[in-house]
Amino acid sequence: MTVYAIIGGTGLTKLDGLTIKAALHIDTPYGAPSAAVLRGDYAGREVLFLARHGHPHRIPPHQVNYRANLWALREAGAKAVIAVNAVGGIHSAMGTGHFCLPHQVIDYSYGREHTYFEGELEHVTHVDFSHPYDAGLRHKLSSALTAEHCAFSNHGIYGCTQGPRLETVAEIARMERDGCDIVGMTGMPEAVLSRELALPYACLALVVNPAAGKSRALITMAEIERALDEGMDTVKAVLARVLAS
């Protein structure tokens, strides 16, 4: 039976309804993960949970130890990873409260430790990253969102920026020209590190604000927090359906 790992982003630093059996403090060759890996039961299924930004939420996107996080999840027994991400909407369909299951990613981040294949290697290793998100996991998430009667898009291009600041109007305009539908700060290198560890990986993205220039109003944290509060119950219901499938 597949053991799923759930990586919770902003708004999901804990998974309500998770019956915790163990909090695993795992040492990795890459340092400490963001938080303990929680092993427990959720929706009648064993699951692993890790808060990407720590608990409490304290680690900014560019300082998350992505390598340690994924390594720790694999060491804990994860066989597949579902990442929950709060994002901004670029495409007109990606309004606040909309869900997106991206099928592609463009990485605009920099300076992050983005691979396990470096240092004193015996040989150079390249991984195929043509399709960064696992089709089977995306299908399960799509079925769960449909069952929950959610507004969602089952395709989209995720543009990953450095953070922690939000983007300028000009940057979003460039990303739109590049084909990005949503923008976030944590999609990479998480996805490629999962691929290097041979862990199927998919992203459940919740749009929490219009990207810069896509609304006449300024982006406020109050707006983002309200969208997170309204969307997290749906996120949890979707995760429960995937785990029960």
pLDDT in tens, 130-180: 999 999 999 999 999 999 999 999 999 999 999 999 999 999 999 999 999
The C-alpha atoms of residue 106 and residue 56 are separated, in whole angstroms, by 29
- pTM check: above 0.85: yes
| Residue 120 lies inside a defined structural domain of this protein | no
User: Higher-confidence residue: 196 or 232?
Assistant: 196
| Residue 121 lies inside a defined structural domain of this protein | no
Are 76 and 37 contacting, i.e. CB atoms less than 8 angstroms apart? yes
- Residue 222 annotated in ligand binding: no
* Closest listed residue to residue 182, CA positions, set 155, 214, 218, 157: 157
| Residue 21 lies inside a defined structural domain of this protein | yes
User: Higher-confidence residue: 2 or 35?
Assistant: 35
- Residue 185 annotated in ligand binding: yes
CATH number at 238 reads 3.40.50.1580
The C-alpha atoms of residue 44 and residue 192 are separated, in whole angstroms, by 30
Q: What range defines the domain where residue 148 resides? A: 4-111+129-244
Quickly state the pLDDT bin for 97 (edges 50, 70, 90): very high
- Residue 186 annotated in ligand binding: yes
Are 7 and 84 contacting, i.e. CB atoms less than 8 angstroms apart? yes
Q: Around 21, how many Cα atoms within 13 Å sit in the side-chain half-sphere? A: 9
| Residue 185 lies inside a defined structural domain of this protein | yes
| Residue 158 lies inside a defined structural domain of this protein | yes
| Residue 119 lies inside a defined structural domain of this protein | no
Tokens 């009648």, located at residue: 44
> What is the pLDDT, as a whole number, of residue 102?
98
| Residue 56 lies inside a defined structural domain of this protein | yes
- Residue 10 annotated in ligand binding: yes
- Residue 211 annotated in ligand binding: yes
> What is the pLDDT, as a whole number, of residue 13?
65
| Residue 122 lies inside a defined structural domain of this protein | no
Are 203 and 154 contacting, i.e. CB atoms less than 8 angstroms apart? no
> What is the pLDDT, as a whole number, of residue 244?
86
- Residue 232 annotated in ligand binding: no
> What is the pLDDT, as a whole number, of residue 11?
67
> What is the pLDDT, as a whole number, of residue 1?
64
- Please count the structural domains in the chain: 1
> What is the pLDDT, as a whole number, of residue 115?
96
